[in-house]
Amino acid sequence: MLDSLTLDQLRSLVAVAEAGSFSAAARKLGRVQSAISQSIQSLETSLGTPLFDRSGKVPKLNDAGRVILADARRLLDGATTLKARAESIVQDMEAELTLAVDAIFPINVLTDSLRDLAAEFPNLPVTLFTEGLGGAEQRLRDGAARLALYVPFANIGENREMEYLVSIPTSPVVASDHPLAAIEGPIGRDELEAAVQLVLTDRTSVSDGITGGIVSHRTWRFADL
Domain with residue 53: its CATH number is 1.10.10.10
List, in sequence order, every residue forming a beta bridge with 134; answer none if it has no partner: none
Q: Tell me what the pLDDT averaged over the chain comes to.
A: 81
pLDDT at 212 over 50: yes
Q: Quick one: what percent of the chain has pLDDT higher than 90?
A: 3
* Residue 170 and residue 104 in contact, taking contact as beta carbons nearer than 8 Å: yes
pLDDT at 22 over 50: yes
3-state secondary structure of 24: helix
Q: Examine residue 159 and state whether it is found in any structural domain, yes or no.
A: no
User: In terms of DSSP bridges, do strands 52-53 and 60-61 run parallel, antiparallel, or are they unpaired?
Assistant: antiparallel
Domain count, the chain: 2
Q: Distance (Å, rounded) from C-alpha 21 to C-alpha 60? A: 8
Segments forming the whole domain that contains residue 19: 2-90
Nearest to 195 by CA among 211, 214, 169: 214
Q: Examine residue 125 and state whether it is found in any structural domain, yes or no.
A: no
Q: Distance (Å, rounded) from C-alpha 150 to C-alpha 132? A: 9
End-to-end CA, the chain: 55
Q: Examine residue 204 and state whether it is found in any structural domain, yes or no.
A: yes
Confidence (pLDDT) at 1 = 46
Phi, psi of 167 (to 5 degrees): -95, 140
Of the CA atoms within 13 Å of residue 214, those in its CB half-sphere come to 13
pLDDT digits (tens, 9 = 90+) for 116-160: 988 888 777 888 888 878 888 888 888 888 888 887 766 656 667
Of 75, 90, 105, which residue sits at a domain end?
A: 90
Of 90, 105, 134, which residue sits at a domain end?
A: 90
* Residue 178 and residue 114 in contact, taking contact as beta carbons nearer than 8 Å: no
Of 90, 107, 134, which residue sits at a domain end?
A: 90
Confidence (pLDDT) at 44 = 84
Residues 6+ apart with CB under 8 A from 121: 88, 93
Q: How far is CA 114 from CA 98, 120, 124, 133, 219, in A?
A: 12, 10, 11, 22, 37
Residues 6+ apart with CB under 8 A from 220: 196, 197, 198, 199
Confidence (pLDDT) at 115 = 92
pLDDT at 7 over 80: yes
Is the pTM above the cut of 0.75? no
Q: Examine residue 86 and state whether it is found in any structural domain, yes or no.
A: yes
For the beta carbon of residue 220, count every other beta carbon within 10 angstroms: 10
Nearest to 130 by CA among 150, 102, 167: 102
From the number of C-beta atoms within 10 Å of its C-beta (0-12, 13-18, 19+), residue 2 rates as: exposed
